[in-house]
C-alpha cells in the first residue's frame, strides 16, 4: 500500500513543479479538509488535479487524486509564493 502522506507528497511536488515551470517559487504550507477515499498500491497509476495558482502571494487550492476514475483523495492545500 502507498501511505496517504506519500499521496500528499505527490500533490505537493506537482504544485511546486508547476511553479518552477512558471518561474515562481511556490511552497506548500499545509493541507486541510483531506479525505482519503481508497487504498492505492504501488503498481497503480494516479491522476492528480490541482487548481492553478492565481497571481498573489498565497492561495488555497482544491485538489483531487484519482486512480482509474475512482477518487483516491481530495482536499485543499495552502500554497505561498516566496521571493
Q: Is the pLDDT of residue 3 over 80?
A: yes
pLDDT-derived band at 59 (thresholds 50, 70, 90) equals very high
Mean residue pLDDT of the chain comes to 95
pLDDT of residue 20: 93
Q: Confirm whether pTM is higher than 0.75.
A: yes
Contact 69, 46 (CB under 8 A): no
Please enumerate in sequence order all residues whose Cβ is within 8 A of that of 56, keeping only pairs 6 or more positions apart, or say none.
81
State the average pLDDT over residues 75-81: 97
pLDDT-derived band at 55 (thresholds 50, 70, 90) equals confident
Amino acid at each position: 500500500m502507498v501511505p496517504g502522506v506519500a499521496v500528499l507528497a505527490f500533490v505537493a511536488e506537482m504544485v511546486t513543479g508547476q511553479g518552477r515551470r512558471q518561474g515562481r517559487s511556490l511552497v506548500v504550507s499545509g493541507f486541510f479538509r483531506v479525505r482519503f477515499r481508497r487504498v492505492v498500491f504501488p503498481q497503480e497509476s494516479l491522476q492528480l488535479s490541482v487548481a492553478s495558482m492565481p497571481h498573489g502571494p498565497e492561495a488555497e487550492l482544491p485538489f483531487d487524486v484519482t486512480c482509474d476514475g475512482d477518487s483516491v483523495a481530495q482536499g485543499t492545500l495552502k500554497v505561498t509564493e516566496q521571493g
